[in-house]
Chains A and B, each alone.
Chain A
Amino acid sequence: MNWGNWVISGFIATLALSTLLAMSQGLRLTRMNVPYMLGTIITPEREKARVYGFLAHFVNGWFFSFFYVYIFQIRHTANWWFGLLIGLGHALFVLTVVTTLIPSLHPRMASEQKGATTQRRLEPPGFMALNYGYQTPLSVFVAHAAFGAILGSLYQLR
């Protein structure tokens, strides 16, 4: 492992991922707001949740970049298209598995089965996060593909 290179390339890729997701929200492609969703695990206060969630998402992105790099090392391949492929797989996992599980794991998210309660009142994402807008899958695929591509092109194998 090229640890120093991972730290820097993971940081840059996470920065790009966060920017792209925020952009797609600002451009009204999706209402998915990952920092807000993560932050509300910690606090119900909107402004605080956004800050905590942003930090959590950033650390999360960095953490995930480790797995990308690990795959690069195992396959002895690190380039933009290989990173992009992993990113697409990652996005598919998020959209299908994570979005299905998150209403059960998130302490403040409502579920379609139980409805909203005093404690759980955040709108669930639904399959492929389509509840947050029909273009949500597109923005998630693009952001994660960019994340993988940047990581693949910046990371240097050792």
Chain B
Amino acid sequence: MDLTTTPARNPGVGYRGCGYFPGIDEYGVIGDCRTAALVSKFGCIEWLCWPRFDSPSIFAAMLDRERGGYWKISPTGEYEAERRYAGNSNVLETRFRTGSGEAVLTDLMPIRDAEMSSMVPDHEILREITCTSGAMEIEIALVPRANYGEYPVAICNKGKLGIRMVDGPGVFWLRSNLPLRIEDSGVFAATTLQQGQTLSFSFSYSLSSPAVLPPLEQIPQRIKICVDWWERWVGQIQYDGEFREEIIRSALTLKLMIFAPSGAIVAAPTTSLPERIGGDLNWDYRFCWLRDASFTIRALLELGFWNEATGFLDWMLHATRLTQPELRIMYTVYGNAPPDEHTSKILRGYKGSSPVRIGNAARDQVQLDVYGEVIDAAAQYAFHGGYLDREMQKVLIGFGNYVVKHWDTPDQGIWEPRTSPRHHTHSRLLCWTALDRLVALTEQDKLKGAPLQDYKDQEEAIRRQIQERAWNQELQSYVSELDGQQLDSSLLLLSWYGFEKADGPRMRSTYNRLRERLSTAEGLLYRTEQVPAEGTFAICSFWEAEYLALGGGSTADARNLILTLLKYRNELGLYGEEIDARNGRALGNFPQAFTHIGFIGAALSLDQREKGEQQLAHRPESPVGEQPHQKQAA
């Protein structure tokens, strides 16, 4: 699926009544590690929440062409567009071609840390379009709609200072070297660019202090500073395997999801991109799920991003303090409960997929697996050479004691069905993982004061229960729920967490059943046996690839599956949450941190197996090589 050369008709966007929605994978993402914006292939910013990921939107045309708000800079008439990121950065370049010329649009959100010594806005998007050959008619339209499309903002022309837009206590400033006209709650302009001519735009937001109005003539220099900053960050990467280029893009995407002020990582920067077009599987993912902790820490550590891994672990253990020893399944970037879920009365949803949800009702679910994921994340950190201080140790023991008391109770499970609690195998697996890791940490003298015997006894009890009641003799497979008949893809993680060997008879047999029941002809996996089916779940396919890399198959099997899955990225290297089995297009919130983490994990395990290195720091039966924490210490 190569979108690079797909001819693109200028689709217009909602304000003038056109209802065309780009494909979800026709968006690119830019960000500043505080929030992110989605830019369509047609030069239109269609999603932006300021000042942080879960703030109300100012542009949301992605969810409603007429009411959402957008900022378009694109050629008039027919054109083709292709995109790429500038080097190893998150600076997006869109090249437009018309019959009369070519132009390059550059979009970015400057990184504040890269410009500490100068006065720059708190939050800003820079856009620059340069005609590189011939001539091109360009149209510009910026239509802000505050609070998820609820109302237009007051716009006034402040002359040489720029265009000022006030929304409650916050202020937006739009500055440009092109005269702009205010009309119908939007800002518009049209011009013809000749070869070598450039239009520059700065759109900024200030909520808590006087705005900074950056000079436009410095934009080229600021773009360079931003690209350099990203490339320096990428320079830390330690992976040198065959998927280096793809890993770098996934790492860059993951970095965009990290909220720098706290270290939290959001699942995705968007809400309500549908898992089924026209359906109601539309969720708000702009929060931090603890479920992703273990995979995330492992990916960050093994790529060499210690600052991000440490920041994330600190956030997890400190931001969750208000609820400890109980854990919510998700938190905001500052560790609060996500807001109550409500549905937008304004936005009608991507391609009519309604409702558009703001907030997430799953916040009140009980999911016992999160204890295992947080403890495993901390254990990975310690096994890689990180230090757990006394405060962290106390917190981990608190979680362990909670698991000892509650592991045998039903919960909602990893897939968050909005049904009554059940006894999920995956949740039991993670309760087992929690105690297993605490025992291992204690035995390695990285944890002090844990009730070791109690943990060992309960760990054994959970193991017995999983082996006896989560194993279906008739199916010759592990199953999703104790004494159940159904399968789900999270069973692949039995080997990832070290409960079963990947090449053991039970795992192999379970894998075969999973393939029979959940895979598509193209080799993708659904997450559950749910009917009607949603898209295939991208992370599950990467779990499969990693299962193969861990010994469930050959290295060729693992590599081939990874190569297959790489075809489902868009041309910018971005994955959504799901892949539509009918046409290979992205579904669900976009881009999805979890999917990129899954890819990184699979590629790391394959690389480690090929090099004969230890796979997964928590696996006691790792084949060869020194312990990673010894490597780090050295």
Which residues does A use to contact B, with CB under 8 Å? 25-26, 28-33, 36-37, 40, 44-47, 108, 110, 112-118, 121-125, 131-133
Contact = CB atoms under 8 A, between A and B. Distances in A.
B158 A45 contact: no
A121 B212 contact: yes
Interface string B354-395: 000000000000000000000000000000000000000000
A26 to B, nearest CB: 8
Nearest to B212: A121
A110 B119 contact: no
Q: Give the interface centre of B116, B171, B175, B209 by most chain A CB atoms within 10 Å.
A: B209
B446 to A, nearest CB: 36
Contacts of A28: 168-169, 207-208
A37 B168 contact: no
Interface stretch (B214-222, B298-306, B495-503): B214-222
Given A31-B207, A36-B210, A116-B161, A121 B117 contact: no
B119 A40 contact: yes
A116 B213 contact: yes
Given A40-B119, A44-B119, A116-B175, A110 B161 contact: yes
B173 A118 contact: no
A31 B166 CA distance: 12
Contact of A122 (B162, B175, B213): B213
B214 to A, nearest CB: 6
Given A44-B118, A114-B160, A123 B206 contact: yes
Count class of interface residues, chain B: 20 to 34
B155 to A, nearest CB: 14
A130 to B, nearest CB: 10
Nearest to B168: A28
B211 interface: yes
Contacts of B116: 45-47
Given A29-B169, A110-B213, A118-B215, 18 more contacts: A28-B168, A28-B207, A31-B169, A36-B210, A37-B210, A44-B117, A108-B119, A112-B161, A114-B160, A115-B159, A116-B175, A116-B214, A116-B215, A121-B215, A122-B210, A122-B211, A123-B171, A132-B210
Across the A-B interface, the 6 shortest Cβ-Cβ residue pairs: A115-B160, A28-B169, A116-B213, A123-B211, A33-B209, A44-B119
Main secondary structure, interface of A, reads loop
Contacts of A124: 161
Most chain B CB atoms below 10 A, which of A28, A31, A118: A31
Contacts of A33: 208-210
A133 B173 CA distance: 14
Nearest to B171: A31
B210 A123 contact: yes
Nearest to A33: B209
Contacts of A32: 210
A37 B119 CA distance: 12
B207 A123 contact: no
B212 A112 contact: no
7 contacts: A28-B169, A31-B169, A31-B207, A33-B209, A44-B118, A116-B215, A123-B210
Interface in B222-275: none
Nearest to A114: B160
A31 B119 contact: no
Contacts of A36: 209-210
A115 B59 CA distance: 27
Contacts of B175: 116
Interface in B134-176: 158-162, 164, 168-171, 173, 175
Nearest to B160: A115
Contacts of B117: 44-45
Interface string B187-223: 0000000000000000000111111111101100000
Interface in B117-134: 117-119
B210 A125 contact: yes
A122 B218 contact: no
B206 A112 contact: no
A123 B210 CA distance: 6
B214 A112 contact: no
Nearest to B159: A112
Interface string B39-72: 0000000000000000000000000000000000
A1 B239 CA distance: 73
Contacts of A26: 208
A115 B175 CA distance: 10
Contacts of A116: 160-162, 175, 213-215
B212 A118 contact: no
A123 B120 CA distance: 11
A112 B157 CA distance: 11
Contacts of B208: 25-26, 28, 31, 33
B215 A117 contact: yes
Given A33-B208, A45-B117, A121 B168 contact: no
B119 A123 contact: no
B203 to A, nearest CB: 14
Given A112-B159, A116-B175, A122 B212 contact: yes
Nearest to A119: B215
A128 to B, nearest CB: 14
Given A28-B168, A44-B118, A123 B160 contact: no
A46 B211 CA distance: 12
Contacts of A132: 210
Contacts of A40: 119
A77 B160 CA distance: 49
Contacts of B209: 25, 31, 33, 36
A114 B211 CA distance: 16
Contact of B119 (A29, A46, A125, A133): A46
Given A31-B169, A31-B208, A123-B173, A112 B158 contact: yes
Contacts of B171: 31, 123, 131
Contacts of A46: 116, 119
Nearest to B206: A31
Given A28-B168, A114-B160, A116-B215, A121 B210 contact: no
Contact of B214 (A29, A114, A121, A131): A121
Contacts of B168: 28
B68 to A, nearest CB: 24
B237 to A, nearest CB: 29
A33 B208 CA distance: 8
Contacts of A133: 169
Nearest to B121: A121
Contacts of A115: 159-162, 213
Nearest to A110: B213
A122 B215 CA distance: 11
Given A28-B207, A31-B209, A31-B210, A121 B160 contact: no
Interface in B80-124: 116-119
